[in-house]
């Protein structure tokens, strides 16, 4: 029984190893987000923020911005202008 469990565990481990070989390139949106995160992190470091102050700063930087009225009309209608 222990041998069967060991074989199954090895099979899962080997399957994970093969899956990790296929590394995908990040999309343009993911790259942009990574760059924004790097810049935001650098700003927090330059300001010397730590702990809760740093969390608050990072949260504010990543908070969604409010849409203006024309954007709201555009996106509120499934992407079609009204």
Inside any domain, residue 77 = yes
The two tokens of residue 74 are: 């555009």
Q: Given this model, what pLDDT does residue 50 score? A: 92
Q: Given this model, what pLDDT does residue 22 score? A: 74
Inside any domain, residue 13 = no
Pairwise pLDDT comparison (44 vs 73), residue with the higher score: 44
CA 48 to each of CA 35, 44, 51, 58: distance values in angstroms, whole numbers, following the listed order: 20, 6, 10, 13
| Residues spanned by the domain of 76 | 28-82
Q: Given this model, what pLDDT does residue 15 score? A: 63
pLDDT in tens, 10-60: 777 766 555 556 788 889 989 988 898 899 889 999 999 999 999 888 888
Inside any domain, residue 50 = yes
How many structural domains comprise the chain? 1
Inside any domain, residue 81 = yes
Prediction pTM value: 0.46
């Amino acid at each position: 029984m222990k041998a069967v469990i060991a074989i199954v565990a090895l099979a899962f481990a080997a399957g994970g190893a093969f899956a990790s070989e296929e590394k995908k390139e990040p999309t343009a949106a993911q790259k942009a987000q990574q760059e924004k995160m790097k810049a935001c992190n650098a700003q927090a470091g330059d300001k010397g923020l730590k702990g809760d102050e740093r969390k608050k700063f990072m949260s504010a930087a990543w908070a969604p911005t409010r849409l203006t009225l024309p954007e709201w009309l555009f996106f509120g209608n499934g992407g079609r202008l009204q």
